[in-house]
Amino acid sequence: MAWQGKRVVELAPSGQVDALAPTVSLANGVAMPAIGLGTWPMDDAEAAGAVARAIGRGYRLIDTAQNYGNEAGVGAGVRASGVAREEIFLTTKFNRAWHSVAGVREACEASLKRLGMDYIDLYLIHWPNPDQDRYLDAFHGLQRVAEAGLVRAIGVSNFKPAHLARLLDAGLVPQVNQIQLDPYHPRADIVAIHQDDADHYRIEQAVTTRPFARTMAYDPQRQAIFTVTAEGVVDPAQPVNTGPARFYPNAYFPGSMVVLTYAPTRK
Backbone angles phi, psi at 32, to 5 degrees: -120, 125
The sign of the torsion formed by the CA atoms of 145, 150, 154, 159 equals negative
Q: For residue 6, how many other CB atoms are within 10 A of its CB?
A: 8
Alpha carbons 147 and 128: distance in angstroms, whole number? 22
Q: Is-catalytic flag, 218?
A: no
Alpha carbons 152 and 189: distance in angstroms, whole number? 28
Helix (H, G, I), strand (E, B) or coil at 157: strand
Backbone angles phi, psi at 193, to 5 degrees: -60, -45
Strands (E), 12-118: 23-25, 31-33, 35-38, 61-63, 89-94
DSSP 200: H
Q: Which residues are catalytic?
A: 68
